[in-house]
Structure 1
């Protein structure tokens, strides 16, 4: 906040002189020397790029074992500094801890690629990702404080799950019910971070981190539910890649519903109940999408029900941003549905005019609904 804005507020009569002075004192005490930080950042970046350039130019001349040893030493130094100085670093700047944890995890992830390069080995991508997740997810969960670390944990779990599922031979065991159910469980497992984060959120000294982790698990659940309805609209099920699609989708949906219900007792209150309801609703949409496979309108209606439920939950919990997002997503899907049902009209000029008018109308309606019914105040999810 600039001192100019504070002066304008005082001149407009929005704040009194005492409030103005307190705001100015607070801003002065918490001022961030952005220019100085930028200079330091540019200098550090130049040194880092120089080191990378020197190493890259002499990469082949450095023995592989030496490179791996240095890589391991950097990981050990990062982890050691993190645990030895975490409290002191957090007192000075929580972002320092966040950056150090992220660097340690990034070094750990790149180590597996480095190892494969030195020893000329290869493996499915999910294997090094899984090992990295086992080794570094506990570190990130113990030290994380904000978005980057939470995204690394949930994103890493989701990436590993989808890589694992994609690496399986879809034709190698077409009638293997146990395999298909296991894959469904693996793909839905990242949603389990939601009840874990909800429980830890009320008991941890880092509630912001656990809130972000819960939100990302919620987003993953909604993404899975929305993807299932989209696949149903495209007639994507029943193509023989998975012989037991119904059972697999049912199990995946049940896992997500159980995770959603687990959030409610872990975090009592309106926000916790609405979060659990959204996750459970997304889980319910997964098997229902199979029943709507190949039917454009029912699949779209299921999508509207899912996101309409999200909008209703956002209203109940006073999540203004989530409500506006839900209205926007519904509007976009409505436009897509209109194109799907009247694709032939787009081949003529008159049809394009109608499509443009319809898009403007839907956008206008979405903005009106968002402004009129959105919660006036944003509540923490």
Structure 2
């Protein structure tokens, strides 16, 4: 915070002279030499890039076993620092533990690819990902503190699940009847990441790392909403292509049921307003998935279904006072309205008059979205 800004606050009557002096003294005591830090950072980056360049240039000349030994030693060193110096690192900076934990997990993930390169082995990608999750996910869950490790856990789970599905079905291209047990199992696997939400919701009040569990819950919620939104986008393009009790239809219903059960679990684990609204969003996302399949290739119906989902998210955000989520929802709805106008008036776009009308519509929707966002968005609060 600059001294000029503090002086401006005092001149505007926002703070008194005593507060101004205390703020100036605090900033002077805790001032950070950013320019010097930048120089050190540039020097460290140059050294790191130089080392990477030297290793890359001589990669083939380094024996594979030596490379693996160094790689493994780096993992052991990072884990040893975490187990024996965690408290000291956390006292110095909580982000030091977070960064070191993420680096250890990243080294562990790349180690499997390194083994494959050295010994010329190959396997479906989901297998090393599953082994990595089995080895490192417990560590991340036990020691994670923020976004970085939460994203690593949820990203690894999602990546592994969809690699498994893709390796077995080509991402949903399997044949068979609507009650094919193999396909239902794969649909269940693809829905598993949402089950992290009730676990995280239950752990938030029981753990001193509440921020980490909050991030895990938010990412699981985003996965459910993203899945429902993608299902609507796929249906809008006629991507399902099958009606009735098809394989994909039953799979979407199963995914939706898992998301809805996860939402109910969040409600039970966190019965406050925020927990109930988060759970309600997941239940709504679960309901949208089979409905998207049922309205496949029905442009207007799918658009209304998509907007109903995001209107529900906006309503939940109003109740829970999530300003950012509300504004995001308004923006998404406005964008979908614009896309719908192009879908319904494709012939008009071939003429200059149609382009003018479309431009005016886009401006009108954007203006309305900004007005709604400013008028109804809740006050900024710490989102939970």
Q: Same fold (TM over 0.5)?
A: yes
Deviations 1:184-207 (A, max 9, x none): 111111111111111111111111
Deviations 1:290-312 (A, max 9, x none): 11111111111110110000000
1:237 paired residue number: 240
Match of 1:331 in 2: 334
Q: Cα distance, 1:221 vs. partner?
A: 0.7
Q: Which among 202, 206, 210 is matched to residue 209 of structure 2?
A: 206
- Cα pair 1:238 1:245 within 8 Å, conserved: no
Aligned residues: 380
Contact 2:175 2:247 (C-alpha < 8 Å) held by counterparts = no
Following superposition of structure 1 onto structure 2, how do residues 208-227 of structure 1 map, counting pairs within 5 Å? 208-227=211-230
- Give 1:336 deviation, angstroms: 0.3
CA gap of 1:31–1:197, structure 2 versus 1, over 3 A, is farther
CA distance in 1, matches of 2:347, 2:277: 41
Residue 14 of structure 2 corresponds to which residue in structure 1? 14
**Residue matched to 2:73:** 73
State the shift of 1:120 in Å: 0.7
Report Cα offsets for 1:274-327 as digits up to 9, x if no partner. Answer: 011111111111111111111111111110110000000000001111100000
Q: Distance in 2 between matches of 1:39 and 1:133?
A: 38
Determine the structure 2 residue equivalent to 1:186.
189
Give the superposition deviation at 1:29.
Answer: 4.1
Q: Distance in 2 between matches of 1:98 and 1:46?
A: 24
Distance 1:172 1:220 in 2: 23
Say yes or no: does 1:63 pair with 2:63. Answer: yes
- Asked whether the 8 Å contact 2:174–2:183 carries over to 1, the reply is no
Contact 2:154 2:219 in 1 (8 A): yes
- Asked if the contact 1:321/1:378 (under 8 Å) is kept, the reply is no
Aligned CA distance change for structure 1 residues 295 and 271 (closer, same or farther; 3 Å): same
Cα displacement (A) at 1:243 = 4.8
Alignment of 1:240-279 (within 5 A): 243-279=246-282
> Partners in 2 of 1:213 and 1:32 — Cα distance?
32
Worse-matched range after superposition: 160-169 or 217-226: 160-169
- What is the rounded CA distance, in whole Å, between the counterparts of 1:31 and 1:260 in structure 2? 45
Deviation digits for residues 230-257 of structure 1 (CA, Å, limit 9, x no counterpart): 11111111359x9512221111111000
Q: CA deviation at 1:30?
A: 3.7
- Distance apart, 1:173 and its partner CA: 5.5
- Is the 2:252–2:289 contact (alpha carbons within 8 Å) kept by the matching residues of 1? yes
- Deviation of residue 64 (structure 1)? 0.7
Taking the aligned partners of 1:181 and 1:2, their CA distance within structure 2 comes to 59
Q: Work out the CA distance in 2 between the residues paired with 1:261 and 1:28.
A: 50
- Structure 1 stretches of 5 or more lacking a match? none
Tell me, in whole angstroms, the C-alpha distance in 1 between the residues paired with 2:373 and 2:273: 21
Distance 1:98 1:36 in 2: 24
After superposing the two structures, state which structure 1 stretch, 260-269 or 326-335, moved more.
Answer: 260-269
Contact 2:6 2:24 in 1 (8 A): yes
Q: Is the 8 A contact 1:320 1:379 kept in 2?
A: no
Out of 290, 310, 315, the residue aligned to residue 313 of structure 2 is 310
The equivalent residue for 2:102 is: 102
| TM superposition shift of 1:172 | 6.3
Segment drifting more, 122-131 vs 166-175? 166-175
Q: Which residue of 1 is the match for residue 123 of structure 2? A: 123
For 2:347, what is the secondary structure of its paired residue?
helix
Asked whether 1:288 is paired with 2:291, we answer yes
CA RMSD in angstroms, aligned pairs only: 1.7
Separation (CA, whole Å) in 2 of partners of 1:80 and 1:58: 29
Q: Equivalent residue for 1:360?
A: 363
What is the TM-score when the length of structure 1 is the normalising length? 0.96
CA distance in 2, matches of 1:172, 1:361: 44
1:337-378 deviation line (CA, Å, top 9, x unaligned): 110011111111111111100000000000011111111232
CA contact (8 A) 1:157 1:190 kept: yes
Once residues 29 and 267 of structure 1 are traced to their aligned partners in structure 2, the CA distance between those partners, rounded to angstroms, is 41
> How far off is 1:105 after superposition?
0.9
Q: Which secondary structure does the structure 2 equivalent of 1:235 belong to?
A: coil
Distance in 1, Cα, partners of 2:242 & 2:253? 17
